[in-house]
Chain A
Amino acid sequence: MTEAIQNVANPQIEVKDLNLWYGEKQALKNINIRIPKNSVTAFIGPSGCGKSTFIRCLNRMNDLIKSCRIEGEVSIEGKDIYGPGVDVVDLRKQVGMVFQKPNPFPMSIYDNIAYGPRIHGVNKKDIEGVVEHALRSAALWDEISDRIRSPAFSLSGGQQQRLCIARTMAVKPEIILFDEPCSALDPISTAKIEELIMNLKKDYTIVIVTHNMQQAARISDYTAFFLMGELIEFGKTRQIFENPGEKSTEDYITGRFG
């Protein structure tokens, strides 16, 4: 594992000795990881292993949970995001997030995408271009360009999820976190999202939590295996799947538990 960490030169996200507690219960133990730029990194592991908790540390969504306490360091582009004087608003602009279930706002498709740019004060006349660009990047434009003013709820589940991805991109982040983005979708929609994620990595650094090992194997460059709040193993996806260094990784990947 140490070897893998050192292999990653120039990490965009660097986590050092991260510990996290919910009240008395420790949910993450001594996490150290370096995630490279313009790559797809998958977090895998059984339910309750801490992978979703960990991904939420990267844009400080855990701040919303009152009982949550964090120690350690999370640096993005060399800057500690838990350090003093960090503005979470700026951080979340830089680190976008797509959730497990599509969560479009109850407004039109257009307004959903324009929401982010509007709150960040993008010029009114530029917004239309931003919206179109985001929809094109999310491979949604061709399907819905004629009904961009209709409610977002009129889209199918898979389209809603791509809308949420477009909405995230409209804010122009550098990193996009995906928290099990396909768990509520059918296989065809899932395939579209996977394809999209692979295309996105040339512009963004992608971190994805997934329950689906085949998905991790298909789309990621790096894989991190979590178990009981610990990062068991991290390395190139190929290596993790074909030649895991730890017994528990192998057991999980071959379906012996989880």
Chain B
Amino acid sequence: MFNRNYKEKTIESMLFVVSALTVFILFLICLFLFRDGLTLFEDVPFLSFVTGKFWYPTSVNAQFGLLPLFLGSLVVTAGAILFSVPLGVASAIFISELANPKVADFLKPFVEILAGVPSVVYGFFGLVVLVPFIRETFNLATGQTALAGSIMLGIMALPTIISISEDAISSVPGSLKQGSLALGATRWQTIYKVTVPAALSGISAAVMLGMGRAIGETMTVMMVTGNTAVIPSFPGGVLDPVRTMTATIALEMGEVPQGSDHFHALFAVGSVLFIVTFLINLLADAIKKKYRFKVD
């Protein structure tokens, strides 16, 4: 009796240590990121970083303006979401509601494999196939544009959006669908008036997580967006090269002198990125919790 209690307590505390470790690592990352990021503001005023329109980190009069990078990320991500949400939700509906089970069993693992393709492979595909296609289609000087980034990120966000939306849609109780069908609704009316609205919280969470994935993606965007740190115009800027926050960090970190303003500026950009993705995840979680379906 005593022995068993002792054993369970040991296992319990081991599991506690492991999970506490995860949180502790997250805490360390925050500390490390923010400490170096905040150091920037000893030399550069906070406002001129946040509202600065120019990112000239290596010129004599170095300027560290976040706006072009932030807007670059925003444009690419927004484009990706615009492209992947309708496609992803439609696929999720098809897989969970319309496809014959054999087809669905075949499609699902393939969608999940999409998530496992390394981002550099996506980038490679984008560079070789998509970029020349965009250049020729729109008759541009270069096909490395925000549009190319959006499409690639959209494809990469698809597996997240599809599999989480699919889970949400298929967990809508069958009794609701039957209730709708018994009232003489068609299968399609049932899907768009009952099933999808009932799954909306899960679908929103899926969109948020897809967005988080898109905003944090580095290698692919670096390869296909041209990396020009200018504020993208709207709407024409979609066909211009842009540079995202992630690409900036990846491109410049290798060559920056440690401890310089530039070094700290990159950490500050990283902090912004961290905060944005953290907020998105928090929001996704809140949506999921708040509107969790209350029928058992």
A64 within 8 A of B: yes
Q: Please report which residues of chain B, range 169-186, place their CB below 8 angstroms from some CB of chain A when the two chains form the complex.
A: 173, 175-176, 178-186
B294 within 8 A of A: yes
Assess A92 versus B184: contact at CB under 8 Å? Given A103-B175, A164-B179: yes
Assess A99 versus B175: contact at CB under 8 Å? Given A64-B181, A106-B295: yes
Q: Are A119 and B175 in contact (CB under 8 A)?
A: no
For A105, give the chain B residue with the smallest CB separation. B194
Residues of A near B183 (CB, < 8 A) are: 92-93, 96, 115-116, 119, 167-168, 171
Q: Scoring A residues 165 to 189 as 1 if CB is less than 8 Å from chain B, else 0, what string do you get? A: 0011001000000000000000000
**Smallest beta-carbon distance B35→chain A, Å:** 46
Cα distance, A64 to B174, chains bound together (Å): 11
Q: Scoring B residues 257 to 293 as 1 if CB is less than 8 Å from chain A, else 0, what string do you get? A: 0000000000000000000000000000000000001
Q: Are A106 and B182 in contact (CB under 8 A)?
A: no
Q: Are B180 and A105 in contact (CB under 8 A)?
A: yes
Q: Are A116 and B184 in contact (CB under 8 A)?
A: yes
Assess A153 versus B175: contact at CB under 8 Å? Given A115-B183, A171-B183: no
A107 within 8 A of B: yes
Q: Are A106 and B197 in contact (CB under 8 A)?
A: yes
Residues of A near B233 (CB, < 8 A) are: none
B9 within 8 A of A: no
User: Interface size bucket, B side?
Assistant: 20 to 34
Q: Scoring B residues 11 to 25 as 1 if CB is less than 8 Å from chain A, else 0, what string do you get? A: 000000000000000
Assess A105 versus B198: contact at CB under 8 Å? Given A99-B175, A115-B193, A119-B189: yes
Q: Are B193 and A119 in contact (CB under 8 A)?
A: yes
For B100, give the chain A residue with the smallest CB separation. A66
A236 within 8 A of B: no
A143 within 8 A of B: no
Q: Are A101 and B180 in contact (CB under 8 A)?
A: no
Number of A-B contacts (CB under 8 A): 68
Residues of B near A105 (CB, < 8 A) are: 176, 179-180, 194, 198
Cα distance, A169 to B182, chains bound together (Å): 12
A89 within 8 A of B: yes
**Smallest beta-carbon distance A202→chain B, Å:** 22
A195 within 8 A of B: no
Cα distance, A92 to B185, chains bound together (Å): 8
The 8 Å CB contact of B178, one of A91, A96, A103, A115, is: A103
Residues of A near B173 (CB, < 8 A) are: 103
Assess A103 versus B186: contact at CB under 8 Å? Given A61-B181, A115-B180, A164-B179: no
Residues of A near B189 (CB, < 8 A) are: 119
**Smallest beta-carbon distance B144→chain A, Å:** 46
For A66, give the chain B residue with the smallest CB separation. B101
Q: Are B181 and A92 in contact (CB under 8 A)?
A: yes
**Smallest beta-carbon distance A155→chain B, Å:** 12
Residues of B near A115 (CB, < 8 A) are: 180, 183, 185, 193-194
Cα distance, A171 to B189, chains bound together (Å): 15
For this complex, 13 residue pairs linking A to B, each with C-beta atoms less than 8 Å apart, are A61-B178, A89-B185, A90-B184, A99-B178, A103-B173, A103-B179, A106-B197, A115-B193, A115-B194, A119-B183, A153-B295, A167-B179, A167-B183
- A residues near B, CB below 8 A? 59, 61, 64, 89-93, 96-97, 99, 101, 103-107, 115-116, 119-120, 153, 164, 167-168, 171
